[in-house]
Amino acid sequence: MYDLLIKNGTLIDGTGAPRFAADLAVQDGRIARIAPQITEPARRVIDARGLMVSPGFIDTHTHSDGTILDPGSTGYNHLEDGATTELAGQCGSLAAPYYGEYSPDCGVSEETYKEICQSYTSFFAYADSIPHGANLAFFAGQGPIRGKVMGLGAGKPNEAQLEEMRALMREAMECGCLGFSTGLVYTPSVFAGTEELIEIAKVAHAYGGVYTTHIRGEGNQLKDSIEEALVIGRASGIPVNISHIKVIGHHNEGASREIIDYIEENQKAGMAITADQYPFTGGSAPLISQIPPKYLTEGKETGLRRLVESAELRRQAEWSIFHETDEFESNIYSAGYAGCLIAGAYKTTEHVGKTLAQLAEETGKAPFDAAIDLLAANEGIVQGIYFSQNQSDLLRFLSQPWVMAGSDWSDYAAPVDPATRAGGHPRAVSTMVHRLELIRDNGLWSLEDAVHRLTGMPAAVYGLPTIGRLKEGLAADITIFDYAALHTEADYDHPFRRNRGIEYVIVNGGIAVEHGAFTGLKNGKVLRMSR
């Protein structure tokens, strides 16, 4: 007797091959059989008549390495979006190794955080010991590597320090990391030079890893920043992925054309280059990360305290945001205060859903002063949404065969009332659904090609051979959906609304989503790269 039998569905196997009608049986967490008709009994039968049956979607860019420390985390938001696997540790920020930075909202005490995140070995041991909503695989964040060796400030590493960084990268890869990530606008990653990154990349490449990067500038400096990533790829041989590829700044609309041509020119020359993308024009990042890094070289806590204490320092920092964009491109510059929405403020929740311009007007303060006071009131933990992108560039990138899907968000805990206003981003619950919706409504790809870029392609790019395809013997990670009915209900005012069209999501053979709603099952596990 099978554990689960999916009957009468239309299978899209994740390879890009044409869809076909078949039944699919699951046993012991694996796909046991695919055939035109399976008559053997099963403990549970799902009738998928009129529905598409595909491999579980792979969210190639999440930050759930931090939220798994919270015992209440479920990841229901990714599961209800059809994702069965998340690739975390992005933007240079894996929770391990601990290097002195700690966020009090992570769900555990600083003592416990240090114990779990002391090393890659301890972090993976912890991650292996607990259940997860979706499967998780991790990149080694370059930020903690540099922070562990050199602290929070600027400076060029000497040979002994470089060897310490190489050793950390080796440990990460031997623990099963997919490669390494950078967040070259965040402290301390921002202080790393290209040569330093090449040395780390050489180690990751020796193990078959990938380099995925939040580049230094996504607006005025977009092409130069992508070129730095390609320099690292050329010098080390490592495949390169551009994180959440986009064009920032309404004045830069159309720049995607040149970037696409440039990337494809290098692909033709033999480079392995991909990108991931979230399909929304509002970006999101911690508000404190929009302060130029040179004001945070002694750590976020100290830097913020000094900005609170000194009106003159605040004026300097604000002037830098708007006049030193070649040095650092802040989303405050790109979006303006009226385009910066407060999405999370864990101690002053009454400010969530307001823009910085509105907050300034309500408090009678200058906008930057209001922003700094908001950060201080929340111990530096404020999430912003920045409306600085263009739909035309978004769709142009979405049309490229080398662009995958990534939400750039973390796991949520218990399901939030869908009627809740503000406090999140629609990409947290709808990246996969909205991507497919845009592809369908704009006629960009066949469904087979679209599913391939959500499943088989990222599994191949990142060395995860047990997922991403419907094939006998592979993991039973399966998403069942109504393609015609797919629709994103979430928006920036109501970011927790549930999608339409996702019917079932199966993780390692267990039903995690039924009729679009999370069942409470946490059946995911940690995956490791295998080449």
How many angstroms separate the CA atoms of 305 and 301, rounded? 6
Would 213 be classed as within a structural domain? no
The amino acid at 415: P
Name the residue range of residue 322's domain: 286-387
How many angstroms separate the CA atoms of 215 and 226, rounded? 7
Per-residue model confidence (pLDDT) at position 153: 87
Read off the tokens for 199. Answer: 């040395």
Would 473 be classed as within a structural domain? yes
Please, which contacts does 422-425 make with residues 24 or more away whose CB atoms are closer than 8 Å? 422/343, 422/352, 422/353, 422/492, 422/493, 422/495, 423/343, 423/344, 423/349, 423/352, 423/353, 423/495, 423/496, 424/343, 424/344, 424/495, 424/496, 425/280, 425/282, 425/284, 425/343, 425/385, 425/492, 425/495
Would 37 be classed as within a structural domain? yes
Domain boundary among 356, 371, 387: 387
Q: Around Cβ 110, how many Cβ atoms within 10 Å? A: 12
Residue carrying the six token digits 């300034």: 360
Are 393 and 256 in contact by the 8 Å Cβ rule? The answer is yes
Per-residue model confidence (pLDDT) at position 101: 83
Would 316 be classed as within a structural domain? yes
Q: Counting Cβ atoms within 10 Å, is residue 206 exposed (0-12), middle (13-18) or buried (19+)?
A: middle
Domain boundary among 387, 402, 437: 387
3-state SS, residue 165: helix
Per-residue model confidence (pLDDT) at position 531: 83
**DSSP secondary structure letter of residue 90:** -
Domain boundary among 345, 364, 387: 387
Burial 1-19 (b: 16+ CB within 10 A, else e): ebbbbbbbbbbbbbbbeeb
Per-residue model confidence (pLDDT) at position 104: 77
Per-residue model confidence (pLDDT) at position 2: 98
Cα Rg of the chain (Å, integer): 22
Q: Mark residue 345 as left, alpha or beta (left: phi above 0; alpha: psi -120 to 50; beta: remaining).
A: beta
Per-residue model confidence (pLDDT) at position 299: 83
Residue carrying the six token digits 């009915």: 485
Would 319 be classed as within a structural domain? yes
Are 32 and 2 in contact by the 8 Å Cβ rule? The answer is yes
Angle at the Cα of 333 from the Cα atoms of 331 and 339, rounded to 5 degrees:
65
Would 340 be classed as within a structural domain? yes
CATH classification at residue 514: 2.30.40.10
Backbone angles phi, psi at 146, to 5 degrees: -65, -45
pLDDT digits (tens, 9 = 90+) for 477-524: 999 999 999 999 999 999 999 999 999 999 999 999 999 999 999 999
Backbone angles phi, psi at 232, to 5 degrees: -65, -40
Would 315 be classed as within a structural domain? yes
Q: Counting Cβ atoms within 10 Å, is residue 530 exposed (0-12), middle (13-18) or buried (19+)?
A: exposed
DSSP of 101-147: ---TTSSS-HHHHHHHHSSHHHHHHHHHHS-BSSEEEEPEEHHHHHH
Domain count of the chain?
Answer: 2
Q: Output the 3-class SS for 331-399.
A: HHHHHCHHHEEEEEECCCHHHCCCEHHHHHHHHCCCHHHHHHHHHHHCCCCEEEEEECCCHHHHHHHHC
**DSSP secondary structure letter of residue 26:** E
Q: What is the dihedral of CA 191, 194, 195, 198, to 10 degrees?
A: 110
pLDDT digits (tens, 9 = 90+) for 110-138: 999 999 999 999 999 999 999 999 999 99
Q: Around Cβ 313, how many Cβ atoms within 10 Å? A: 15
Would 256 be classed as within a structural domain? no
Low-confidence ranges of the chain (pLDDT < 50): none
